Structure 1
Amino acid sequence: MAQKVLDPKYTPWVPHYGNVRPFIDYPEVTMYEMVRRSSEQYPDKIAYEFMNDKVKYRTLIQQIDHCALCLVKEGVTADDSVLICMPNCPQAVVTLYAANKIGAIATMVHPLSAKGEIEFYIQNCECSVVLTLDMFYSNFPEIKDGMKLQKIIVSSIADGLSPFKAFMYKHVLDGRKDPKVDPSNRGVVFWKDMIKQDVTGVPEPVSPKTTYDGAVILYTGGTTGRSKGALLSNMSFNSTALGMTELSEIYGTGESIAAVMPIFHGFGLCTCVHLPFCIGITSILVPRFTPDSYSKLIVKKKINFIAGVPTLFEHMLRSKWLQNAKDLSFLRGIFCGGDTLAIEAKQRMDAFFAERKCPTFVREGFGCTECLTATSITPKDEQRPGSVGIPMPNDYYKITEPGTDTRVPYGTDGEICIAGPAVMNCYYNEPEETEQTLIQSDEDGLLWLHTGDIGMMDEDGFIYFKQRLKRMIITSGYNVYPSQIENILLNSGLVKESCVIGVPDPLRGSKVKAFVVPAPGVEGNTETMSKLRSYCRTQIARYALPREYEFMETLPRTKLNKIDYRQLEQMDAEKRASMPQKPVREHKPKREPRSKKQQ
């Protein structure tokens, strides 16, 4: 499918590409096919490493092909969706590409999602099969007659390891007992049993899907804050991976990338997994980490490319592993996204790495789930303070008057709009939301994604992100949508109305605060607050839980009788400014008890 090329007057960034091709003829193949090509070109190179176990590309493609046959035997077809609720581990990655080979859609969701969220994802993506860890199995509904969901494949972290490593992990390193999942439960299939199946006679799956068909669903808040699945195509992944490789000029400069960013997020899935698989380098899969353990991993394994969110990098700079490092010249790419990186923080990070002989600076990017991940990135040899870079090859940016197709002059704030192969096909089963977000321009004929973010483009095409037009809170790099939390609070029966905002937090960047008007007959006291906390823990992912509550008799309203969240933000800011400068005591959700070995 030929892509329209815009008039040069609309692409002022092209002269700043240097040696980078401004337009690339991306291969029109599936995600699976990209990995298969790498397995043929680099059969003996390491494709992924997991807890020090290393797997070559020739073995990776064998794992994917075998898993695809196993899924077919379990009843998966090209018309299905496979929901993957897993941390960064081999089973998740292999299943993703196996589903893609079949032609099924892979739906990636947060493994720490609450029960209510899991049920919504299952219904929304219409999945027939789920892959999850044993420790998360209890969050999934019981399979009943009439449900589209037919199988729940249950795995464990140890399933991704060699037999000896699996034994060591389960009995020595981790110290936890695997949660018991009753094998007689309807639809339960254990990964270790499924993967050992005899697949003789199972027909080899051939995907009927094209490069432009939907391949993966990633969930985002959309324009209203209610979760919606962004259906992203094979081309979205392939063009983003190859375009980022081209503009970053990383091909041939390194052999490994750390995959610590979660694979249910486009940043982690594409940048840290699909990109390395497309160019034949190693993805080091990390299922869980701390800033200190990530720093240790980088230094010990001399990783060439790393990715993270601003708060993660800020914490890593205080790690003894990086502070004591004398030579970080092996670092060839440092990519930062997911949240705003303050100019001062970036300068501090660049200086830190430069002092340790790192040959590159921190490369910022901009994007959103609706276009998979970053579609703009800082060029290799040119950076501008506050800028998130220039568009990647084949992707276009324009700044418009919010909610319109009218371009604003260079240097003027407006809504950031994106067009190109990375943009999603649609919000899955959400035609109205899709129509409001993907708008074809009368001016150039392109289909533009209206991001709902405010930014500016300078005369040279460099993009500057300013603020989010949509009400969204970013806490520790995770997106939290206030309207989702408000709806859950309302459903508790304890709340008449509420308003959720983000407030400053020294560790997370922002944290969630809920202003609550109690329901009639309910008092705004500590007992009610305790009940709300308990209720929310069953309905909301841990990272999105309100950390502060404030009861009010009424909430301020605008002239249109809508809750005035901006006034609440201002009230809270003024209150904090008048308080003594000391940490605000906040509620910490209860953790599961740990064994002595863990402690």
Structure 2
Amino acid sequence: MNDQLSPYAQKPWLRHYDYWVPAETTIPEQSIYQVLAAANVHYGHHRATAFLGGHLTFAEIKQQADKLATSLLKLGVKPGDCVGIMLPNCPQYVISFFAIVRLGAIAVNINPTYTAREVGLVANDSGLRVLITLNALAPIALGVKAETKIETIIATDALAFAAQRPKVLAMTEGTLSFSEMIEGVAEPQLPPLNLNAGDEVAALVYTGGTTGVPKGAMITHRNMWASTVMCRVWNREFTRAGEESFLLVIPYFHIYGLIVGLVYSTYVGAVQIQIPKYDANMLLAAINEYEPTYFPAVPTLFISLLNHPDAPSSKLGKIRRLNSGSAPLPVEVMERFEAMSGASVYEGWGMTETTAIGSGTPTFARRKLASIGFPFPNTEMKIVDLESGTRELPVGEEGELCIRGPQIMKGYWNKPEATAEVLKDGWLYTGDVARMDEDGTFYIVQRKKDMLLVSGFNVYPNEIEDVLFTHPAIKECAVIGVPDEYRGEAVKAFVVCKENATTTKEDIIEFCKDQLAKYKLPTHIEFLTALPKSAVGKVLRRELREKESEK
């Protein structure tokens, strides 16, 4: 399609941006460490973290990060080396991340719930030399050390920065003490900071948890700056630098938590209220104690809070900005949550490969439910046909979503073939089926790999799940395809009922008949007590499919 005629090249979304949002913004080429350095200058004595009653200022974070970087340098860590962080949300994560990037090394984010096998896969793929983890997780790290390139394991106590700290921190044999690596440095001694680090890799963020094949997305300093600056200009009119508090249960090891929770919050001088693991009671207690101003979340968090008896009487309504990402938020859930809390929920879309940021819903323009909003500044998006991926589709037609911009990853670590499959002529082929309307608003229909083919018709699980969520007895649900001799595939729904609520297969099918075409009806229904989820609460359809295939 000729660019002059292409609806995507014309960027219709620009006409509907909030009045303060520019079409383009400048992206720094510096080390992402400069985010912390600037926060120290502007907000040095402000609280940077709040963790189980303990607090650190930005000045303290910088001082400890610089001291840790000095100790890492003495261990032989140099630019380009991979250093792993296997921690929950805690001050040590923030300190470790900025220490690593200060040296020009690469931070490798590792899920602390990983098994030894999974840690070994990431360690071997990345070539980790140093791993920072909890003392409680050190045995897992030590167990894989011999089969990897890991030379040093640095361990920290989970409560080292909490208000109530244990008096004796017994360290695991074979590890170095995180605290001693900081306390043993009187004054940081570091080489000059690389001021032109833009194209260098700052982090490896592993994706593929839903496919079973880990791939390390190479996130550069420029990528991180791009996403951070885009967030800032998008939110400028309601983000008060130095006065915000971010409620962070989204884990830092996930790209959403790393960029929005850790880097962007530091950029705007916000307090990071760190929740080390999801617990509804802990989350509500933090909301009531700190009255956070911003809460980046995922659909399962909203669903969980909706079903918590204490949520309606909590201070949820004090939160000025609620964001939902990582997976589509059912409209029914959004409307119920907004009615309960009195706060507005804004959806966004991004992926690991886009450094978390792709599109977002505007603040003042007319909000279109079930949409992912407009592409961010400096960003282009388009829809191409599912077959060849070369033909741009007209407005309103469904195809694969492609995105181009400075936040797009450099590629997959040590996987040139996998990189070539998704990066073509500067465009990232996302694997999401989507469409764009005449205003430039984008809508995710489904992951391409999750789409079902029933009697020759495309069926999207999200559509069926949206209907199921409106059933009064259903708390959670997930839809997959199962083999069917007649239709090719049939629709199967896995259902979790609300507490003290019951329903039947027949009732659910009857409920859906008025809202779905016959070929979309879930003819197979299985009741579960819980759905399998990823670390950020995304339902793992892959596991449901695997269990189904084993039957």
Q: Normalising to structure 2: TM-score of the pair?
A: 0.79
1:428 to 407, 413, 423: 413
Question: Are 2:505 and 1:584 aligned?
Answer: no
Counterpart of 1:269 in structure 2 is 258
Contact 1:81–1:128 (Cα < 8 Å) also in 2: yes
Amino acid at match of 1:312: L
Question: Are 2:279 and 1:336 aligned?
Answer: no
Counterpart of 1:469 in structure 2 is 448
User: 1:57-206 to 2 correspondence within 5 Å?
Assistant: 57-142=58-143, 147-161=148-162, 165-167=164-166, 182-183=172-173, 185=174, 188-198=175-185, 202-204=189-191, 206=193
Q: CA deviation at 1:572?
A: 6.7
Task: Provide the secondary structure at the position in 2 that maps to 1:470.
Answer: helix
Contact 1:257–1:272 (Cα < 8 Å) also in 2: yes
Q: CA deviation at 1:207?
A: 4.1
Cα separation, 1, equivalents of 2:286 and 2:128: 36
Cα separation, 1, equivalents of 2:351 and 2:442: 14
Change (3 A) 1:324 1:573: closer
Contact 1:154–1:189 (Cα < 8 Å) also in 2: yes
* Structure 1 spans left out of the alignment, 5+ residues: 1-5, 171-177, 441-446, 474-502, 516-554, 559-563, 590-599
Question: Are 2:420 and 1:419 aligned?
Answer: no
Cα separation, 1, equivalents of 2:114 and 2:144: 19
Counterpart of 1:317 in structure 2 is 306
Task: Provide the secondary structure at the position in 2 that maps to 1:131.
Answer: strand
Change (3 A) 1:411 1:296: same
Task: Provide the secondary structure at the position in 2 that maps to 1:157.
Answer: coil
Amino acid at match of 2:16: H
User: 1:8-23 to 2 correspondence within 5 Å?
Assistant: 9-17=9-17, 18-23=19-24
User: 1:209-288 to 2 correspondence within 5 Å?
Assistant: 210-221=197-208, 225-249=212-236, 250-252=238-240, 254-288=243-277
Cα separation, 2, equivalents of 1:472 and 1:427: 25
Q: Summarize deviations over 1:555-577 as a string: whole Å, max 9, x none.
A: 8799xxxxx9x73x636789x98
Counterpart of 1:298 in structure 2 is 287
Cα separation, 1, equivalents of 2:505 and 2:185: 69
Contact 1:44–1:58 (Cα < 8 Å) also in 2: yes
Change (3 A) 1:319 1:415: same
Q: Summarize deviations over 1:426-450 as a string: whole Å, max 9, x none.
A: 000000000110000xxxxxx1110
Counterpart of 1:388 in structure 2 is 372
Question: Are 2:385 and 1:401 aligned?
Answer: yes
Change (3 A) 1:556 1:226: farther
Cα separation, 2, equivalents of 1:573 and 1:198: 55
Change (3 A) 1:288 1:511: farther
Contact 2:477–2:493 (Cα < 8 Å) also in 1: no
Identity %: 27
Question: Are 2:486 and 1:570 aligned?
Answer: no
User: For the aligned residues, what is the CA RMSD?
Assistant: 3.3
Question: Are 2:346 and 1:346 aligned?
Answer: no
Amino acid at match of 1:396: E
Question: Are 2:424 and 1:439 aligned?
Answer: yes
Amino acid at match of 2:438: E
Amino acid at match of 1:296: A
Cα separation, 2, equivalents of 1:573 and 1:509: 5
Q: Summarize deviations over 1:27-77 as a string: whole Å, max 9, x none.
A: 222211111011111222211111122221121111111111011122211
1:458 to 437, 443, 453: 437
Count of residues paired in the alignment: 481
Q: Summarize deviations over 1:364-409 as a string: whole Å, max 9, x none.
A: 0111111121311110112102111111111111111125132111
Contact 2:49–2:273 (Cα < 8 Å) also in 1: yes
Q: CA deviation at 1:214?
A: 1.1
Q: CA deviation at 1:234?
A: 1.3
Cα separation, 1, equivalents of 2:43 and 2:531: 47
Cα separation, 1, equivalents of 2:477 and 2:505: 20
Cα separation, 2, equivalents of 1:570 and 1:345: 22
Cα separation, 1, equivalents of 2:306 and 2:494: 28
Task: Provide the secondary structure at the position in 2 that maps to 1:166.
Answer: coil
Change (3 A) 1:86 1:508: farther
Contact 2:297–2:325 (Cα < 8 Å) also in 1: yes
Q: Summarize deviations over 1:246-302 as a string: whole Å, max 9, x none.
A: 213332185111111011111111111111101112111111232232123112211
Cα separation, 2, equivalents of 1:263 and 1:509: 27
Larger CA deviation: 101-110 vs 238-247:
238-247
Cα separation, 1, equivalents of 2:485 and 2:151: 47
Cα separation, 2, equivalents of 1:85 and 1:148: 16
Task: Provide the secondary structure at the position in 1 that maps to 2:323.
Answer: strand
Q: CA deviation at 1:160?
A: 2.7
Change (3 A) 1:587 1:430: same
2:278 to 283, 289, 301: 289
Cα separation, 2, equivalents of 1:94 and 1:277: 12
* Structure 2 spans left out of the alignment, 5+ residues: 1-5, 453-467, 496-502, 509-524, 533-551
Q: CA deviation at 1:508?
A: 5.5
Change (3 A) 1:578 1:222: closer
Change (3 A) 1:511 1:97: farther
Contact 2:298–2:326 (Cα < 8 Å) also in 1: yes
Q: CA deviation at 1:461?
A: 0.9
Cα separation, 1, equivalents of 2:162 and 2:73: 24
Cα separation, 1, equivalents of 2:281 and 2:345: 19
Cα separation, 1, equivalents of 2:505 and 2:310: 38
Q: CA deviation at 1:226?
A: 1.4
Task: Provide the secondary structure at the position in 2 that maps to 1:15.
Answer: helix
Contact 1:223–1:452 (Cα < 8 Å) also in 2: no
Change (3 A) 1:472 1:80: farther
Contact 1:223–1:470 (Cα < 8 Å) also in 2: no
Amino acid at match of 2:166: F
